[in-house]
Amino acid sequence: MEDFSPETKPPQVRGARVMDPVKPILDAWIQEDFQKKKKFRRTAKRMYEVLVEDYAFKGSDRTVRNYVAKQKIKLAEEVEQAALPLEAKPGTAQVDFGEAPFLHDGKQIVLPYLVISFPFSNAFLFQVFPAQNKECFMEGLKRMFHYIGGVPKAIRFDNLSAAVKKVLPNGERELTEAFQNFVLHYEFTPEFCNPGSGNEKGHVESMVKYIRNNFLLPELTLLNLEDLNRTFWKKAEKDRNRKHYQKENLIAKLYMADQEQFLQLPAKEFDCVRYEEVKADKYGYIRIDNKTYSTSPRFAKQKVLAKISYNQVELLTEKYDLIVSHERLYGEQKQSVKWQPYLSLMAKRPMAIKYTSFYEQLPKEWQIYLEQCTVHEKQQVLQLLSVLLKERDFHTPTEALRLASERGQPSVDSIKQVFYQLLNGRGQRKEIDVKKAVPDVPPAVRGLSHYDHLMGTGGDIE
């Protein structure tokens, strides 16, 4: 014998007399379950029980479990290999939310940002919002449409709750009423990913990470959200001055092909608001999204209409007249109270003001001034503030109080006078120094000699 190397023996393939008849059944069940959500899939134990009950299976449950486990791995690999890249067409877009940290008032907060990406050109836009609700979602899309001057003809989303109310059994989507109206207004075609199929909008998911890493990290300091968002337009445009990762062409040039396919904007912008009818409590407070907002004492225990946008809550009468407007609350903020409508009521009971949260919110100058006032003067002050705060904040009234107090405890009328002087741009008038303003008078000279100079005689008369 010339070769004593170890022989390679092919594995013995034995027929599985018990398993062979049920393998097609198990394969069909596994294939069927792969189309369902994980929590709705049959376990290997349940498959074994059905085989025993319905197919008189004589094998062991361990044999079934081993076979099912191997087939699931094999099928998962086949599904993954079968995934095909989606064709990127000009004028189409994908949309998704991401999250990034920001520094606000010395604290780190996490805010969402909405991204629209264009797979054909690899261009994108993004805007930061306080939440991922319907109003923020639609406001972000509208803002982007009007910035680019057109509407992508088809936009792919995942099944986010701001857009999709229900995923129907036939694969269609029942849209929220607000988003359905938004789609009809801008006339684009919404497309939705299959549940659990993130690869169907893989471009925007990659862009979410790219934006966070290149524009939002490390944490940006947030002073004014709208000012910050305005800077992101230019940053996104500047990013187009690089080559596409595959097409060896500038993104800016490829984006021109996207623009050519955009739909025309409608004549009017969509109003991204919702209306809710709410009933005020005995204090005139109402609740929206677990946040408290004030109306007015005269609307206590009455119904009012709330007009809610992404950043504002306007409370209206049944005739749509404005009662009061609030900034919309997010995060840890629980209550927004506009005290101006309550000041007339406080003026009737001025001694109770010190026990209200309004007193704590007063600037220190007004707290000190009210402590020095009589009951009647407090009534006058509160009535004055109810007028001064109707369309403005405390800044100008407090400046008027400071100027009027320079000569001691001012009257309500003097505060009011200085306030309107400041409002008209005149401020407090300064005293005139008479001695410096009036020129010195030359000394008087008696006699008629000045007439000689006038006649040019020099004093000699012929």
- CATH code of the domain containing 327: 2.30.30
Residue 120 lies in a domain: yes
Query: Which amino acid is located at 306 in the chain?
Result: A
In the predicted model, is pLDDT for residue 193 greater than 70? yes
Segment 388-418, tens digit of pLDDT: 887 778 889 999 999 999 888 899 999 999 9
Pair (170, 241) in one structural domain = yes
SS3 sequence, 384-404? HHHHHCCCCCCHHHHHHHHHH
Pair (354, 327) in one structural domain = no
- CATH code of the domain containing 125: 3.30.420.10
Tell me which of 292, 311, 338 is where a domain ends: 338
* pLDDT score recorded for residue 340: 85
The interaxial angle of helices 23-33 and 61-82, nearest 10 deg, is 50
Residue 368 lies in a domain: yes
Pair (334, 361) in one structural domain = no
How confident is the model over 364-384, as a mean pLDDT?
91
Pair (402, 306) in one structural domain = no
Dist CA 208 CA 205 (whole Å): 5
Confidence class for position 281, pLDDT limits 50, 70, 90: very high
Residue 436 lies in a domain: no
Pair (233, 287) in one structural domain = no
Tell me which of 195, 229, 260 is where a domain ends: 260
Segment 238-264, tens digit of pLDDT: 999 999 988 889 999 999 999 999 999
How confident is the model over 314-334, as a mean pLDDT?
94
Residue 455 lies in a domain: no
Pair (352, 334) in one structural domain = no
Segment 89-98, tens digit of pLDDT: 999 999 999 9
Helices and strands per DSSP (H, E), number in the chain = 16, 15
In the predicted model, is pLDDT for residue 216 greater than 70? yes
Total number of domains constituting the chain: 4
How confident is the model over 217-235, as a mean pLDDT?
96
Pair (107, 229) in one structural domain = yes
Pair (377, 228) in one structural domain = no
* pLDDT score recorded for residue 168: 84
DSSP 3-state assignment of 247? coil
Q: Any idea what DSSP says for residue 448? A: S
Pair (134, 211) in one structural domain = yes
Give the pair of three-digit tokens for residue 15.
Answer: 């027929």
How confident is the model over 268-284, as a mean pLDDT?
95
Pair (117, 222) in one structural domain = yes
Residue 431 lies in a domain: no
Mean pLDDT in the chain?
Answer: 87
- Cβ–Cβ < 8 Å for 118, 92: yes
* pLDDT score recorded for residue 7: 67
- Cβ–Cβ < 8 Å for 326, 312: yes
* pLDDT score recorded for residue 462: 46
In the predicted model, is pLDDT for residue 201 greater than 50? yes
Segment 131-185, tens digit of pLDDT: 999 999 999 999 999 999 999 999 999 989 999 998 887 778 999 999 999 999 9
Give the pair of three-digit tokens for residue 88.
Answer: 């990127």
Residue 169 lies in a domain: yes
Residue 1 lies in a domain: no
Q: Any idea what DSSP says for residue 212? A: I
Pair (325, 389) in one structural domain = no
Tell me which of 62, 82, 102 is where a domain ends: 82
Pair (198, 50) in one structural domain = no
Confidence (pTM): 0.69
DSSP 3-state assignment of 53? helix
Residue 411 lies in a domain: yes
Q: What is the domain extent for residue 69? A: 20-82
In the predicted model, is pLDDT for residue 280 greater than 90? yes
Dist CA 330 CA 312 (whole Å): 11
DSSP 3-state assignment of 93? strand
Task: Tell me what percent of the residues of the chain surpass a pLDDT of 90.
Answer: 58
Dist CA 326 CA 456 (whole Å): 83
String of DSSP letters for 327-389: EPP-TT--EE---HHHHHHHHHSGGGGGGSHHHHHS-HHHHHHHHTS-HHHHHHHHHHHHHHT
Give the pair of three-digit tokens for residue 397.
Answer: 């009234």
Give, in order, the Cα–Cα distances in Å from 304 to each of 99, 344, 359.
35, 20, 27
**Burial of residue 155 (number of CB atoms within 10 Å: 0-12, 13-18, 19+):** buried
